[in-house]
A and B are shown apart, each in its own frame.
Chain A
Amino acid sequence: MGWVRRLRSTFSRTAGDFDEERRFHIDERTDEYVRNGMSREEARRAALKRFGNATLAKERTLDVDVFRWIEDLHRDTGYALRMLWRSPGFTVLAIVCLTLGIGANVAVFSWIEGILLRPYPLVVDQDRLFAVTGTNRGAPGHTDVSWPDWLDLQRASTLAEAFIGEKITGTTLSIGDRAERASGSMVSANYFDAIGVRPVLGRSFEPGEDSGRNAHPVTVISYEMWHDRFHGDPGVIGKTQVLSGLPHTIVGVAPKGFYGTFVGYAFQFWVPASMQSQFDAGVYKLEDRGARWIEGYVRLKPGVTIEQAQAEMSAIAARLEADYPETNRGRGVKLFPLWQTPFNNAGALLPTLAVALVVVLSVLLIACANVGNLLLVRAFARQQEMTIRLSVGAGRGRLVKQLMTEGLILSAIAAAGGLLVANWLRDALALLTPPRGGVVLRLPGELDWRVLAVSAGVCLGSTVLFGLVPAMLTSNIDLAGALRSESGGVIGGRSRASVRSTLVLVQVSLSFVLLVGAGLLIQSLQAVRNASPGFSTDGVLTTGVDLFTAGYDPQRAKNFQDELIDRLQALGGVESAALSRMTPFSYRNYSTAPIAVDGYDAPPDQQPAADYNEIGPGFLATMGIPLVSGREFTRADNERAPLVAVVDETMAAQFWRGVDPVGRRVQVKGRWMQIVGLARNARYRNLLETPKPFFYVALRQNFSATTALQLRTAQRPAALAPALVREIHALDANVAPSELITMREQVDRTTAAQRISVTILVVFGALALVLAAIGLYGVMASTVSQSSRELALRMALGAGASDLLGLVLSQGLALTAGGVVVGLVAALQVTRLLGYLLYKVSPRDPLAFASAFVVIAVASLVACFVPAWRAVRTDPLRALRG
């Protein structure tokens, strides 16, 4: 590979080279003087003297080198710019292809940086932050951690610098006469100090403020809230703000640009963990080792690996298990890198962004193949020029440098355009994500120096990809052969044609893979949309009624709830109405409790547990969840009646092995309950969850003043909302329901990841297809123009138009077929990576493969037909003479 050496020598001429050259000269001269009879010592001195001022000579020599290098660069740049200017069609096409390719990449890098790698602006040392969750032996997934366990972990760990506990929460803020939801976080007292965020006003939380039941009603508010709600009042410190029904003293204002530590949402306030029960409808969990609710992060000491820390955490968890078997049997602790955090939107978006990364890299490859193809065509057209320059002694390295300069200019322009594209796309993910009431969505791309560095790398990499191939081919020019042929466009040559065909083959196969992926995801989204969550999504509306923060005691709340249901059921158009603590598919957690069943023995190191919902009379009927046997709760199942429960089929199968459990009993948190009904399985959190045992208890027997309200009605939310507010205000003008939406919308909000993936894949799949079609068109067009003589000859010998059309088309389609075969093999391997994004669709779904094939075939037919048509219309006489 001669050109590599030449290229290197062009760039590596250094001062050291000259020194070595001079040393050789002086050694030789010394030898000469010694031969003439001088002593070695004398000879050397004389030789040095003879050489004269070494530094000056060196400087003059290096001046020549540096000056020349700059001049070359200057001339190459100028030359390249002129070449690009002279063929604007090529230049624009190349830059558009590369801009799209690089822009898509920068956008995805910036999302990965801003959402997964460094998601929390202003938080220091995010490299050493890891997410902390709990685990339950024998149960998949993660759990939260109890506050006593959290404190014990913190006390016992030697490898951790800080434990940063927090739990997302929400409140209603009254703004004039209108209520608005705001999201915030309950945090450990060290929160702001541990993440290195200083309030711009006031103070952060003080040690001890996270202990004592509701003992420290203080809050740090976000800069935005300070600005919007308090109009940037510098005297805001010391004022009070009602949060979750209790006045909190504002002690600090968070700095601008700090949004908390929860991927996806921007928080508006923070309260110490001591306020937990006020935000959890009065349920106090700070001293309950069995109540798992806190999440958060640990910052490890410098140099500590996640494996070491995990080993230590597991050891501490094992000690806690031994010390507190009642609550901690089977409970462990697991650390995750920040980008895999399971309890915020990082975990949900990780597969989507991974898919996006693969997709945009493929698009870039396709774009590079296109530009490479275009450069090749031009390089061959310029072969004569190159040959002449070579023959007059231009170094081949110089020619390579020249071509690379052209490529670099193209990709630098494209990279600048790509940055603009990425900047526009910064908030695209947030726009694709459905809004949730009261939550400020924040899924920003981050264009920091790391992203810029990676983008520059991509730019350089693609230049090498599309620039070096033509450069290598042209530097292999056969001088004599090229000079002998006199025709203008010296194209052809089997090796070059095959290089171009290979590029097209790669493009077609990559497009095929992307199209298959898009087809699979579209089908998956369709399947998700059609999937039954196990309850009615049409004709059921849901909203929230929070009496706890409105200051109701349980008795008043019970009366209010009963009256409200009566009033709503009397409304025209409302079939039924029911309350529950949770509405399905909420982002909040269900209650969870250890359970025991007669005749079921769990392995000794496991503690069976199940999630449950506290529901009012008529909930299952209102939601449309069918009963397999037994009954659901009625008003008679109140606090004076025996405790009752309804279990679902998964729970019945696991604990009663298929026998109808109605009439048996289950122990929940130590209380025995009579099972009165068996309900069909439903989905409880999202459409894709794996079925886990689930049951229902009576709201009246497990009271909560904070509830969701479900209405079965044929009316639209907008039509019913005024009547709902009227009925609630008739009972109490100070109580306002939260947003009223259909269950369909509630469900759709959980399928954001699928929809984002589908959008990304469809958009980029289409882009890839267009780029590949352009590539195929280019190759076919130049094939036709190369072989115009041959085609003319065939025509002259009697070949009909259809013969020629067939000839050209079959060549192009053979290329497509090759690409599809390669793509097919690749797709069979690659589509499995879509993993959980595929719902009820096999990664080898024949429909997706078939439609990808059809789309590719049509696109390549179109791309080949134009050149083929031109071939047919060739005038044989002119072609043969020309």
Chain B
Amino acid sequence: MLRRRHKKPDALQGTLDLLVLRTLRRGPHHGYGIAADIQSISDDILRVEEGSLYPALHRMEHLGWITAEWQTTANNRRARLYKLTRAGQKRLDEERAKWDQLTKAVGKVLRFA
């Protein structure tokens, strides 16, 4: 097989991916909506940088985790709607398991210390 050219996602980027994928699981959404959802659900604690969000969305699209389509919104604007794919769903499950493991591990260490 050819060497995979893109780097392994680092932890932080992985987190953004996880958040985005999770948000999209509720249904197709545009970039602004994803950012807004993450912010409101986290009670304004997590604010997604737009400068990171769009590159991440496009990267995940190429990886086949999500697909994108232009659509017209209720207030008659053209928005790019992202939608979770089967591969994205699988990825979400994996990332989520990893995240759970990680937080569980970190929690254990904190409690023990």
Contacts and interface: CB of A to CB of B under 8 A. Distances in A.
B55 A61 contact: yes
A18 B77 contact: no
A75 B58 contact: no
A27 B88 CA distance: 28
B64 A395 contact: yes
User: Chain B: interface residue count, which band?
Assistant: 20 to 34
A734 interface: no
A28 B32 contact: yes
Interface residues of A, number: 35
B51 A24 contact: no
Q: Which of A22, A28, A60, A71 counts the most chain B CB atoms within 10 A?
A: A28
Nearest to B62: A68
B23 interface: no
Nearest to B50: A51
B64 A24 contact: no
A571 interface: no
Q: Which of B33, B36, B64, B87 counts the most chain A CB atoms within 10 A?
A: B64
Interface of B: 2, 5-6, 30-33, 35-36, 49-51, 54-55, 58-59, 62, 64-65, 67, 75, 77-80, 85-88, 90
Given A63-B55, A64-B58, A64-B59, A25 B64 contact: no
A395 B67 contact: yes
Nearest to A25: B32
A31 B36 CA distance: 12
A53 B5 CA distance: 27
Interface string A734-777: 00000000000000000000000000000000000000000000
A57 interface: yes
B51 A392 contact: no
A24 B2 contact: no
Contacts of A65: 58, 62
Interface in A353-401: 391-395
A79 B32 contact: no
A61 B54 contact: yes
Contacts of B5: 71, 74
Nearest to A479: B86
B32 A64 contact: no
B67 to A, nearest CB: 7
A30 B78 CA distance: 16
Question: Sorted from nearest, which 10 A-B pairs have the closest CB atoms?
Answer: A393-B87, A393-B64, A28-B32, A68-B62, A57-B51, A60-B55, A393-B85, A25-B32, A64-B58, A61-B54
Given A24-B77, A79-B2, A393-B85, A57 B54 contact: yes
Interface in A267-296: none
Contact of B88 (A56, A63, A393, A394): A393
A392 B64 contact: yes
A237 B74 CA distance: 87
Contacts of A394: 64
Contacts of A28: 30, 32-33, 36, 77
A60 B51 contact: yes
Contact of B50 (A17, A20, A25, A391): A25
A220 to B, nearest CB: 63
Contact of B78 (A24, A60, A64, A393): A24
Contacts of B78: 20, 24
A53 B80 contact: no
